[in-house]
Amino acid sequence: MNVLVTGGAGFIGTHTCVELLKSNHSILIIDNFENSHPEAVKRVEAITGKKVNFRQGDVRDIAFIKKQITDFKCEAVMHFAGLKAVGESCQNPLKYYDYNVAGTLSLLQAMQSCNVKKLVFSSSATVYGAPKRLPIVEDTELHTTNPYGRSKLIVEDILRDLYTSDPSWHIAILRYFNPVGAHKSGLIGEDPIGIPNNLMPIVAQVASNRREKLSIWGNDYPTKDGTGIRDYIHIVDLAIGHLKALESLNVAQCNAYNLGTGNGYSVLEVIKMFEHVSNQKIEYEIASRRDGDVAECYADPLYAMQQLDWKAERGLREMCEDMWNWQIKNPTGY
């Protein structure tokens, strides 16, 4: 299938492109490099030995998107392009609504005018906010606590409204938990521009002496060791989940799926595992809680397992090993 991949040069996009190419799909990456690197596209070609079609551009440019869909004879779209830092979204909400909501609207309008109606959308477990029950199932009440999460929920609602108005759409909404790790080759990985927000990249930078120490945002949560618990999922498992979601779009639908492992690990457990695989001491200090953080968040992955015939296979050790391999091979990223 000819697949248009927006944001395909990013962390999740590149890993998904590798899996698409391995499954003999043809891909066209569109990226504006706001939060990614051109080198990443070359690395995808190096891993797969296949040519990657690529156009630099912005999903908010409807004419540009229409031209790419037409020229590439696109049959489906995987939409990763967007911004994802919770803290930044609180400081600059308009930027997040412009990129994440207006960008998706432009993409959908271009797809509709070209009669291309197969879409895999990159959503987030952030749409669940502070879950009242764990593990989280897909029909859990949706509520968000920050502009980033709200931008994802607004797009989900747009997609559900679109499908209600025109049930010829084939839509899979994928709610990511905490994607971490890297491709086994160490050629592609997470390379946040600027100061990373997420735990794993920070731990990797401390282990490689790029950062002095980690601040643990709170150790007084009602959890097994007081630190926050999250459902970390290996990026390759996540990428394979996208492939399975695409393959499920052979019938008209609009479904949301949790892409998580169903296992929760605490900050201290992640630190301990990372120290084990890297043989490096991770220096840390205990700091006060971060605004907006929840104590625990992990998925019930059963629905995705049943509907997509998909299950995360890789555990925390492999996530840390592959993250460390990426870090030491690319100490300053791409």
Indicate which residues carry an active-site annotation.
Answer: 148
List beta partners, residue 31. Answer: 56
Query: Is the N-terminal amide bond of 135 cis, ω within 30° of 0?
Result: yes
- Residue choice 230, 234, 242, 314 for contact with ligand WQD (CB under 6 A): 230
Identify residues 123-162 at the interface with ligand WQD (CB under 6 A).
124, 126
User: In angstroms, what is the minimal distance from the CB of 113 to ligand WQD?
Assistant: 29
84: contact with ligand WQD by CB under 6 A? yes
Contact 80/16 with Cβ under 8 angstroms? Answer: yes
CB of 130 to ligand WQD, least distance (A): 12
Instruction: Rule CB under 6 A: say whether 290 interacts with ligand WQD.
Output: yes
Angle at 23 (CA atoms; ends 21, 26), nearest 5 degrees: 45
Spatial separation of the C-alpha atoms in residues 192 and 88, rounded to whole Å: 13
How many residues are there in the chain?
A: 334
Q: Which of 34, 39, 88, 293 binds ligand WQD (CB under 6 A)?
A: 293
Is residue 199 a contact residue for ligand WQD (CB under 6 A)?
yes
Could you tell me how many residues of this chain bind ligand WQD (CB under 6 A)? 19
Task: Reduce the DSSP state of residue 221 to 3 states and report it.
Answer: coil
- Does 99 interact with ligand WQD (rule: CB under 6 A)? no
Contact between 25 and ligand WQD by CB under 6 A: the answer reads: no
Q: Does 268 bind ligand WQD (CB under 6 A)?
A: no
List residues bridging with 253 in a β-sheet.
170
Instruction: Report the candidate in 155, 150, 131 with the shortest Cα–Cα distance to residue 141.
Output: 131
Three-point CA angle 320, 325, 328, nearest 5°: 120
Closer CB to ligand WQD, 217 or 334, in the complex: 217
**290: its two tokens:** 């971060």
The reply on whether position 267 binds ligand WQD by CB under 6 A is yes
- Calpha distance 331→283 (Å, rounded): 18
Q: What's the closest the beta carbon of residue 123 comes to ligand WQD, in angstroms? A: 8
Q: Does 176 bind ligand WQD (CB under 6 A)?
A: yes
Residue 109 or 215 with smaller CB distance to ligand WQD: 215
Q: Which is nearer to ligand WQD, 24 or 212 (CB)?
A: 212
**What is the closest distance, in whole angstroms, from the C-beta atom of residue 133 to ligand WQD in the complex?**
18
Query: Is 263 near ligand WQD (CB under 6 A)?
Result: no
Which of the residues 44 through 63 are near ligand WQD (CB under 6 A)? none
3-state DSSP call for residue 160?
Answer: helix
Q: 221-228 contacts: CB < 8 A, separation 24 or more? A: 221/289, 221/295, 221/296, 222/295, 223/266, 223/295, 223/296, 224/266, 225/266, 225/268, 225/269, 227/266, 227/267, 227/268, 228/266, 228/267, 228/293, 228/294, 228/295, 228/296
Contact 101, 154 (CB under 8 A): yes
User: Does residue 204 interact with ligand WQD by CB under 6 A?
Assistant: no
Residue 69 CB, shortest distance to ligand WQD, in Å, is 26
Does the footprint of ligand WQD cover residue 215 (CB under 6 A)? yes
202 touches ligand WQD (CB under 6 A): yes
Out of 185, 197, 253, 280, which residue is the one contacting ligand WQD (CB under 6 A)? 197
Residue ranges binding ligand WQD (CB under 6 A): 84, 86, 124, 126, 176, 178, 197-199, 202, 214-217, 228, 230, 267, 290, 293
